[in-house]
Amino acid sequence: MFDFQLFVEQCQGALKEVDPSGAIRDVLERTVSNPAEVLAGLGEPNRATVKTIHAADDLTIVNVIWGPHMTTAPHNHRMPAIIGIYTGAEDNIFWRRTVDGQQGLIKAAGARSLRAKDVEVLGVWAAETP
């Protein structure tokens, strides 16, 4: 069964690696490779919700359950994010600010549909040197 505390510890350990983004991606890929275990550990989703399940200065883990046909406006997480899908699906459109001098304009710069077992790294991940 999915051991949430072990998952947090593995993510915290990954933050200390030379490539924290790649190391956390590896943790998530191993975790979502067995969706049934994650479902057993977190429970079957029954409604749309955003639940913070771990918060610290260096690591936040959020369990996001999208409802059918749910969409959000383009947004900036203002931090790197790594998505791991353990059930259902998430369709993403990636946006970029325009560079033509017009403030506030954005344009689509790509898209990806994520399904169970998929992992996606978002944003710029800057490894800090101790």
Domain boundaries, the chain: 4-122
In the predicted model, residues of the chain with pLDDT beneath 70 are 101-104, 124-130
pLDDT at res. 128 = 43
In contact, 26 and 13? CB cutoff 8 Å: no
pLDDT at 1: 83
pLDDT at residue 98, rounded to an integer: 80
- Residue matched to tokens 């593995």: 10
The pTM score is 0.84
Model pLDDT, residue 101: 61
pLDDT score for 130: 39
Q: Which residue has the tokens 């975790």?
A: 31
